[in-house]
Amino acid sequence: MTESKPAPRSSSEFVGSLARGLSVIQAFGHDAPKMTLSEVAERTGLNRAAARRFLLTLCELGFARTDGKLFELTPKVLTLGYAYLSSLDIWQAAGPYLQEVTDALNESCSASVLDGTSVVYVARSAAPHRIMSVSLQLGSRLPAHATGMGQVLLAGLDDACLDAYLAEATLEPFTRRTLTDAAKLRERLAVVREHGYALVDQELEEGLRSIAVPVRDGSGRVLAALNASSHAARVTKPTMLRTFLPVLQEVSGKITAHLVP
């Protein structure tokens, strides 16, 4: 099959309105998490009327919100990246890597990406035994704040996206250990970011202990998370750090190497 080439900007197939709408989304960032209409127009080169139409359309679709003066993106913009990540062939090729973890630890290993306020499973190697009350499979969704993979993925967000996530998420308690306070979750994520892993002890389900690490692209950006879980009565936290963590880090590095051309 012949690879199709992008339509040149002078082509009749080039949709200028789509390009301008995307430029509005891309105008937001770490240095500008919230902007007025005038600021968006200035950063995109659009006139105020056009910028206003695009912003209000994004608000109507749920990709942005406004208090009447300032506009900001919502976590729904993360679904755009999820659509790309979940379609990558890497997740089909990741099976043997995840199986390495299962073979080494005799525990299930999963990979997930962030979609809104949830993690979505995109690859999985299951151990013979099951430790969760629910059966996990590709496409399964779990709350980001209460899972190791979720905390790794949230720690990889920039400040603006993390602010948007916290404004959108309901930090539901699943056990008495679940972090339900936004300030405490921020503190946890800062530690996860510093250490490069998240160890979650019975925050999603009693008896479930897991450890997760980021999967990065060639530039160091967090693309996904990789985890291994076990029953708390069988594997202690020190054992997870001593045994599970090095295995996950090694396999994460192999996946990153596979991603880099």
Q: What is the CATH number of the domain that holds 193?
A: 3.30.450.40
Q: How many domains does the chain have?
A: 2
Scanning the structure block, which residue is given the tokens 């997740």?
A: 91
Torsion sign (Cα): 32, 38, 40, 42 = negative
Residue 177, classed as helix, strand or coil, is coil
- Residue 261's pLDDT is 57
Structure tokens at 75: 């976590």
What pLDDT does 238 receive?
Answer: 95
pLDDT at 225: 94
CB 174 within 8 A of CB 204: yes
Is there a contact between 115 and 79 (Cβ–Cβ < 8 Å)?
A: yes
Give the SS3 label for residue 168: helix
The CATH number assigned to the domain holding 64 equals: 1.10.10.10
Residues 115 and 216 in one domain: yes
- pTM of the predicted structure, to 2 decimals: 0.71
Assess whether 53 and 98 both reside in one domain.
Answer: no
Shared domain check, 127 and 163: yes
Same domain, 147 and 43: no
For the chain, give the mean pLDDT: 86
Residue 55 shares a structural domain with residue 175: no
Q: In which band, very low, low, confident or very high, does the pLDDT at 134 lie, cut at 50, 70 and 90?
A: low
The pLDDT assigned to 123 comes to 86
Could you tell me if 69 and 84 lie in one domain? no
Q: What is the pLDDT of residue 11?
A: 62
Is there a single domain that holds both residue 184 and residue 129? yes
In this structure, the answer to whether residues 146 and 231 fall within a common structural domain is: yes
Q: How far is CA 136 from the centre of its chain?
A: 18
Q: What is the pLDDT of residue 89?
A: 65
- Sheet with 141-143, strands from edge to edge, namely 141-143, 118-125, 109-115, 222-231, 208-216, 198-201
pLDDT at 130: 59
Quote the domain boundaries for residue 146.
80-259
Same domain, 163 and 217: yes
| Residue 255 shares a structural domain with residue 154 | yes
Judge if 140 and 188 occupy the same domain.
Answer: yes
For residue 66, pLDDT over 90 is answered with yes
pLDDT at 7 over 60: no
Cα 109 from Cα 162, distance rounded (Å): 26
Helix axes 16-27, 37-44, angle to 10 degrees: 120
pLDDT tops 50 at residue 101: yes
Asked whether residue 219 is assigned to any structural domain, the reply reads yes
Residues 124 and 193 in one domain: yes
